Chain A
Amino acid sequence: MKRATQATETPQVGRSVPRLESWLKVTGRAEYVHNLRLPGMLYGKIFRSTVAHGRIKRIDTAAAQALAGVYRVITSKEIIQLIAEPYFGPAFHDQPILAIDKVRYVGEPVAVVLASDPHVAEEAVHLITAEYEELPAVYGEVEAMTSKAIVHDVLRPAGTFPDLKHLKDRKNTNLALDFHLRRGDAAKAMKNAARVFEHTFTTQQVMHTPLEPLVSVAESTESSLTIHTASQSPSFVRIEIARLLGWPENRVRVRVPFLGGGFGAKLYIKLEALVSVLSLLTKRPVKVSLTMEEQFFTITKHASTFRIKSGVAPDGRIVARECEVWWNGGAYADIGPRVTQKSGFTAPGPYDIEHVAVDSYSLYTNLPPAGALRGFGIPQLVWAYEGHTDLMARELGIDPIEFRRRNLLREGRPQATGTVMKDAATEKVLERISALLDWGKPFDRGTGTVKKGRGIAIGFKACVSPTTSLAAVNVNADGSCIVYCSTADMGQGSDTAMAQIAGEVLHMAAESITVVHSDTDVTPYDMATLGSRSLFHMGNAVKLAAEDARNKLDVLRKELNLAADCPVSDIFKKKYGMQAGNVTGAGSYIPAYKSPDANGLTDNATPFWMVGGSGVEVEVDTETGKVRVTRLVNVADVGTPINPKIVETQISGAAIMQLGFTLHEKMEFDAQGQLRNASFAEYKIPGLLDLPGTMVNEAVMAEQKSGPFGGKGVGESGTFGVSPAIANAIHDAVGVRLTSLPLKAEDIWEKLK
């Protein structure tokens, strides 16, 4: 683990540097909030709602409070003493820290027991009872549009998003946002089309299940608060907690070490407001550490319904498309409204279609809240439009790859919003999948009860915009270097990538660079680690910061009459007479952006496009409907890979995760909104035995000209094509089309009977 500080001429970008923290991780010594114990710390255990929708009539905490070892039991009553309006959320201020007056889903936090011994706190939770006056509940996203069951009496949009302002104080609706896009005249073009196809696809509610369950610790004084949290968005947490308390930002400090997985579960604000008030109320450090089961009651991925309709010209070109998407946001909006809009505008898919209409609706229901999960709504959309594409190709008798070729959205052509496609390698991705599958060659269809099939799918995503990243790069007197940034390394390898970018600028080995983890007292602002934005935004900020430091060093060399190539340590020695001082470079990056107009149109919707697709070969057992994925190829445009090995494993990991969402994973609710499978015993994520027979994961040769050294995000692209490619392959194998996820063997068997 030697660390050199000497300069190097070896390129840092494009090198598969092993993760900087590799040895900490393989020796079990990497820092996670999970590991944090502070002197005098109390553990909080949560008492949760048992009804999906109800007015709280009574909460009886007496027996819990009386249990030996219990420090205190807290309900919203105590919290209101501290914060008059204790509601949080990134898009709507709709989520109470603990339920107030009403509960809106089974599993919603209602009370917390605090004790020094977590076993005692857990025991006491069993002694709390609550009575509810049950209200009618609504679970389905389409049903929620017209249901008489209203989840929120009044809507409370956060002030931060201008496009939500018109929803303020709106009543008698479950609609948290509707996004509409109109380009050309889809209705008219549909009428004139030679063929019209319409299909409806649905997806299920699933959970991220990071193996380090959500965990936060807060410690407080009269005038300050330090939050140690497994968060993907420390800067947002600081701003939101400061807002809740009415404090300036500098009294709230948010620290984030490594995350044991995130995938969107640890975004915005989750347990942070709760631990903050618990610590302020007790004047003790407080830790709330969820169990795997509790994670299912905290944040999930949107279930969705997508009605898609296309008009096709006689030459096989798609001329019109109408998309209606309903997103099941659960009881609290979280970032759902952003999913509705930011994903909504790509609902027509990576196809060049002149007339487009999109209607995308974010709905409240009485289910656990939904937010961002690796793809921010895109996998739900690709699932639908790529199934639709395949069905059309089949009906038209056109080869599915040829059909896509005819309609593909190519470089320089306007996307549905009107934004022109730039540095988006749609063609390369499509052609590479075709080549990897040997699409043109004869294919063995299987024999007996085992039938074989193959399918492909391709999707794209616009990076969320506009968002800001700031970074600082410090060069010390001995020439060693520290990068300060608030990007959370949750396994995606951001520390390593940022060190490579800084190292490339400063001619230093990435391995010799230290990356300081998020600490809002130290590291500059960053919007969040989400949506594959960090490599591009923070990468650009780090590059600018490193260049700034390098320029300052060059200026010093000149001032001190030193040779242009003299070692950095000589500069400081000459200037300060000893090993002393340092130079700090600063970088700030925000891309250009233009908000969509009333028709959802803009000529600058995103700073970059992500493209990802998959090709699949399957075997289907015709007696049982069981599907085996024998081959899975995943291809993505990630610009120029900064770290090729990490890029490959990101594509692979994303695809395997999506494989779980495709074949096994589903949160199963009963008619009362009770979750029946909130544990790994009954919620099955993929394991080693579920891997495809063979797998190929590739980045195409590409460059994102506006990205740092040609790079851009990669974390989500591997998810895009997996689900529809498998459904398309099943159709190819046995002629059965499934339109809802997950693809259950039983459903295939039903249709084969």
Chain B
Amino acid sequence: MAPFDLAQPRTLEEAFALLDAEGARPLSGGTALMLMMKAGVLRLERLVSLRNLGLDRIEAHGTLRIGAMTTLSTLERSPEVRKGWPVIARALRTLSNVRVRNVATVGGALAHADPHMDLPPLLSALGAKVVIQGRNGERTMAVEDLYAGYLENTLGKDLITHVEIPPLGKRGAAYLKCTTRSADDWPAVGVAVVLGEETRIFVSAATDRPTRIADENALTGLKIEGDLHGSAAYKRQLLKVYLRRAIDEARNASH
């Protein structure tokens, strides 16, 4: 891996100042970033760690407010999450592996914009919002609006500080994914469903970003990418099957 500087600021202001330099990138859990740097596809001068910014708390007052630097393991084990949003804990159990979840963060998992990841479609379906801090203030945005394409987010030079998830209440919710090679493979398709007055369905992995669809009929027109996990036609079939199964699971999961 090419040498770089590592900075560990204690305030957001400091972090922004350090990030203004050429070749600087924020480092949250680093699980994806390290892979890209080791492979030589990303070459940086400076990493700015966000771990000392106090962004690692979970608060539940109706809405679930998660600090962006909360690790996926902390989220998975959180009693508030298990009680109020059990679908998140269930989804996390099959997200990558325990060591990744111990280090990877909620903010990083959303900002990375890899369409194969599990949280973006699920949090989108849950109607979650991200709180974004920029040099000139704070804004909020729906999670699904974070994505501009494959590995492309709309953050610019700003940082996610928090994720806010509205109460799930008694609505049924499910996230299913289908891996076509080993069980721990990247999914060929992912489907997140939250039932309710306004049913929210998001598909992922088959599309270049988490994509909302109204119902099964919308799959026909969906732009689907074939890859090593399956052809576009096969992924369309998997989406159809997994959508139906996810809706069934969500119905059974309602409480």
Q: Do any CB atoms of chain A lie under 8 A from CB atoms of chain B in the complex? A: yes
Residues of chain A touching chain B, judged by Cβ–Cβ distance below 8 Å, are: 119, 122-123, 126, 623-624, 626, 660, 663-665, 668, 676-677, 681-682, 684-687, 689-690, 744-746, 749-750
In the complex, residue of chain A having the shortest beta-carbon distance to the beta carbon of B1:
A119
Q: Does B18 reach chain A (CB closer than 8 Å)?
A: no
Binding site for A on B (CB under 8 A): 1-3, 35, 40, 178, 180-186, 228, 230-231, 234, 237-238, 241
Chain A residues with CB below 8 A from B40, complex form: 122, 126
Q: A623 touches which one: B181, B184, B231, B241 (CB < 8 A)?
A: B241
Select A624's contact among B2, B186, B237, beta carbons within 8 Å: B237
Checking A122, A126, A624, A689 against B183 with a beta-carbon cut-off of 8 angstroms, the contacting residue is A689
Selected from A119, A684, A744, the residue in CB contact (under 8 A) with B184 is A684
Interface secondary structure of A, over-half rule: loop
A-B contact pairs, 26 of them (CB 8 A): A119-B3, A122-B40, A623-B237, A623-B241, A624-B178, A624-B237, A626-B180, A663-B181, A664-B181, A664-B185, A682-B186, A682-B228, A684-B181, A684-B184, A684-B185, A685-B182, A687-B182, A687-B183, A689-B182, A689-B183, A689-B184, A690-B182, A744-B180, A746-B231, A749-B234, A750-B234
Which B residues are CB-close (under 8 A) to A746? 180, 230-231, 234
Chain B residues with CB under 8 Å of A687's CB are: 182-184
- Measured CA separation A629–B184 after assembly (Å): 16
- Docked CA distance A344–B82 (Å): 59
Q: Complex Cα distance A665/B182, Å?
A: 9
Q: Contacts of A123 on B, CB cut-off 8 Å?
A: 2
Question: Which of B1, B2, B183 contacts A690, CB < 8 Å?
Answer: B183
Shortest CB distance A60–B (Å): 18
Given contacts A676-B228, A682-B186, 4 further A-B contacts (CB under 8 A): A119-B1, A126-B40, A665-B181, A681-B35
How long is the Cα–Cα vector from A690 to B238 in the complex, in angstroms? 20
Partner of A684, one of B178, B182, B237: B182
A745 and B231 CA atoms in complex are apart in Å by 11
Q: Residues of A contacting B181 with CB < 8 Å?
A: 663-665, 684
> A624, B231: Cβ atoms under 8 Å?
no
Q: How far is the CA of A555 from the CA of B181 in the complex (A)?
A: 63
Q: A745-B180, A746-B180 are in contact. Are A624 and B241 (CB under 8 A)?
A: yes
Q: List residues of chain B with CB within 8 A of the CB of A745.
A: 180
What distance in Å separates the Cβ of B148 from its nearest Cβ neighbour in chain A?
Answer: 23
Given contacts A122-B1, A123-B2, A749-B237, contact A668 B182 (CB under 8 A): no
A750 to B234, CA, bound (A): 8
Taken together as a complex, chains A and B put the C-alpha atoms of A606 and B228 apart, in Å, by: 42
Residues from chain A with Cβ under 8 Å of B237 in the complex: 623-624, 749
A519 to B13, CA, bound (A): 61
CA gap between A119 and B37 in the complex, in Å: 12
Whether A119 contacts B183 in the complex (CB less than 8 A), given A668-B228, A746-B234, comes out as: no
Q: What B residues does A623 contact at CB under 8 A?
A: 237, 241
A120 vs B231: C-alpha distance in the bound complex, in angstroms? 40
Contacts of B35 in A (CB 8 A): 681
* Chain B residues in 8 Å Cβ range of A664: 181-182, 185
Cβ of B180: which chain A residues have Cβ within 8 Å of it? 626, 744-746
In the assembled complex, the Cα of A342 lies from the Cα of B253 at a distance in Å of 58
Question: How many Å lie between the Cα of A686 and that of B181 in the bound state?
Answer: 9
Question: A682 to chain B: which residues have CB within 8 Å?
Answer: 186, 228
Of all chain B residues, the one with the shortest Cβ separation from A685 is B182
How far, in angstroms, from A665 to B228 measured CA to CA in the complex?
A: 11
Q: How far is the CB of A664 from chain B (nearest CB, A)?
A: 4
The reply to whether B2 and A677 contact each other, CB–CB distance below 8 Å, is no
Complex interface: chain B residues within 8 A of A749 (CB): 234, 237
Distance to closest chain A CB from B176 (angstroms): 12
How many angstroms from the CA of A602 to the CA of B209 in the assembled complex? Answer: 63
The distance from the CB of A658 to the nearest CB of chain B, in whole angstroms, is: 14
In the bound complex, residues from chain A placing their C-beta under 8 Å from that of B186 are 681-682
Give the shortest distance, in Å, between A403 (CB) and chain B (any CB).
33
Tell me which residues across on chain B come within 8 A of A126, comparing CB atoms. Answer: 40
Residues of B within 8 A of A744 (CB): 180
A624, A686, A744, A745: residue with the most chain B Cβ atoms closer than 10 Å: A624
**How far apart are B230's CB and chain A's nearest CB, in angstroms?**
5
Interfacial chain B residues near A668, Cβ < 8 Å: 228
A665 to B185 Cα, complex, angstroms: 11
List of A residues within 8 angstroms of B1 by Cβ: 119, 122
- CB closest residue in chain B, given A688: B183
Q: Which residues of B contact A677 (CB under 8 A)?
A: 228
Distance to closest chain B CB from A52 (angstroms): 19
Bound state CA distance, A668 and B228, in angstroms?
A: 8
Contact of B182 among A119, A626, A686, A750 (CB under 8 A): A686
* B178 → A minimal CB distance (Å): 7
List residues of chain B with CB within 8 A of the CB of A626: 178, 180
A686 contact set on B, CB distance < 8 A: 182
Min distance, Cβ A279 to any Cβ of chain B, angstroms = 26
Residues of B within 8 A of A122 (CB): 1, 40
Q: With A119-B1, A123-B2, A677-B228 as known contacts, state yes or no: A624 contacts B182, CB within 8 Å.
A: no
Closest-by-CB residue of B relative to A118 is: B1
Q: What residues on A are CB-neighbors of B178 within 8 Å?
A: 624, 626
- By a CB distance below 8 angstroms, the chain B residues around A685 are 182
Find the residue from A126, A676, A690, A746 having the highest chain B CB count within 10 A.
Answer: A746
- Rounded to whole Å, the gap between the CB of A241 and the closest CB of chain B is 32
Complex: how many Å from CA A653 to CA B55?
45
Tell me how far the C-beta of A112 lies from the nearest C-beta in chain B, rounded to whole angstroms.
Answer: 17
Q: Could you say which of A122, A623, A676 has the most chain B C-beta atoms within 10 Å of its C-beta?
A: A623
In the complex, residue of chain B having the shortest beta-carbon distance to the beta carbon of A744: B180
Distance in Å from the Cβ of A619 to the closest Cβ of chain B?
15
Nearest B residue to A686 by beta-carbon distance? B182
A313→B202 CA distance, assembly (Å):
59
Q: Who on chain A is nearest to B97 by CB?
A: A687
Partner of B238, one of A119, A624, A676, A684: A624
